Every structure is written in C-alpha cells, then in structure tokens.
Amino acid sequence: MNYTIFKTGLGWVGVVGGEKGIKKIILPYPQPLMVERVIAQEFPEAKEGGCQLITVVKFLSNYFEGNNHPQEFLLDWSGYSDFLVQVWRITQSIPWGEVRSYKWIGNQLKRPHSFRAVGMALKKNPFPIIVPCHRVIRSDGSLGGFSGYRGSRLKQKLLEIEGIRFDEERKLNW
C-alpha cells in the first residue's frame, strides 16, 4: 500500500492506493502533517510514494483548479456493505456542476425514506471527488452535512469550483 500527499489551492490532499485500487482520498487540510496523521492512523502499513497514484493526483489537481476531466479509476470497494457501495455508485452518476438530493438517491435505491441512511453512507465515503458526495444536498436546497475538514464550508467551495452558486443563506436555488 502506498500514499502520496500534494498541495492544491484549497490545502494538502492525500491519496492512498493498494493492489485493488484507490483505498482513500483525504480532502484538503491546511498542513501536510494533518494528512499524514490521517493516513498513519488508518493505514499504518502504507509507504510514501508509488507511481500508480500519479494519474489520480493529476485528476485531483485538475479538479481543484476547476477543470472537469472525468476519468475512471479502480476503487477498492472491499470491506464495505452492499448498501454503501450502491449509494456511492449512484452518487458517481451525478455530473459535474449538478446536484441531487439525499432523497433522490433514496429513490434511485427504491428506498424513498432512506435519506438519513444515505447521508450516513455518504459520510463514510472514502473516495470523495471521484464519488462526488459533495454534490448531494438537502431537498430544500441547503447544503446538508459534510465530513471533510471545514465541513459544509468545504462542500460549498467544491460546488463553487463546479460553477454552482448559492444565495446569502448558503442555499441553492433549484
């Protein structure tokens, strides 16, 4: 298992990969040491480096610069429940610059009242940006939660990178 940490306009980002694909993406923190701590805590056996991560680093760097270059990556889904994987796969279908609600995902699952479970599944998403959980908001247009450092402020910033605008109450008019 390998990892790399790199700087973006929003802070330091980490990527961990293994034989089966990407294991985790760590969204921006203000200091690289903070990313290293997350990696060391969750993947103590990971070693820095590894050329297999170059493509995902390039993709993420482009993303944080506001460039949309969709790409397929091998993601390591092992160890996650079928429900989590279903939620994440549906979330992957949300295009750049668009949002969907937690309820919409529940409807796609044919479980229309599962919006809270959907939110909890997205909170556990190990592949943010590639599985764009930031594109999932509440039905009333408000952001909802976000587990990245700086929480919903980061979520809003990611959506703004994609051209989505909010009113003064941080709500999307949709």
Q: Are residues 112 and 142 in the same domain?
A: yes
pTM for the model stands at: 0.93
Domain at 113, CATH number: 1.10.10.10
Backbone angles phi, psi at 159, to 5 degrees: -65, -35
Question: What is the band of 78 on the pLDDT scale with cuts at 50, 70, 90?
Answer: very high
Q: Are residues 60 and 92 in the same domain?
A: no
- Residue 50, sorted as left (phi over 0), alpha (psi -120 to 50) or beta, turns out to be left
Residue 168 confidence (pLDDT) above 70: yes
Q: Are residues 58 and 99 in the same domain?
A: no
Report the C-alpha gap between 172 and 174 in whole angstroms. 6
| Strand 100-101 relative to strand 47-48, pairing | unpaired
Residue 174 confidence (pLDDT) above 70: no
Pick the closest to residue 130 from 16, 35, 11 (CA basis): 16
The catalytic residues are 133
Question: What is the band of 52 on the pLDDT scale with cuts at 50, 70, 90?
Answer: confident
Question: What is the band of 129 on the pLDDT scale with cuts at 50, 70, 90?
Answer: very high
Q: Does 70 fall in a domain?
A: no
Mean pLDDT on 128-144: 95
Domain boundaries, position 129:
82-161
Report the domain count for the chain.
2
Residue 173 confidence (pLDDT) above 90: no
User: CA of 131: how far to CAs of 26, 32, 166, 168, in Å?
Assistant: 13, 23, 22, 28
